[in-house]
Amino acid sequence: MSSSIPAITRDRFDAVLFDLDGVLTQTAKIHAACWKEMFDDYLKERSGRLAEPFRPFDIVTDYKLHVDGKPRVDGVRDFLASREIELPEGETDDPPGEETVRGLGNRKNELVSAAIATRGVEAFAGSVDLVRRLRASGIRTAVVSSSHNCEPVLRAAGIVDLFELWVDGQVAARLELAGKPAPDTFLEAARQLGVEPKRCVVAEDAISGVQAGRAGAFGLVIGVHREGDPEALKNNGADVVVEDLNEVPTARV
> What's the per-residue H, E or C state across 10-30?
CCCCCEEEECCECCCECCHHH
Spatial strand order of the sheet with 240-242 comes to 165-167, 140-144, 15-18, 200-204, 220-224, 240-242
Confirm whether 21 is a catalytic residue: yes
- Which of the following is catalytic: 14, 19, 94, 205? 19
- Which of the following is catalytic: 14, 21, 62, 239? 21
Q: Which residues contact 131 (CB under 8 A, 6 or more apart)?
A: 16, 18, 24, 141, 159, 162, 163
Confirm whether 19 is a catalytic residue: yes
Query: Looking at the annotation, which residues are catalytic?
Result: 19, 21
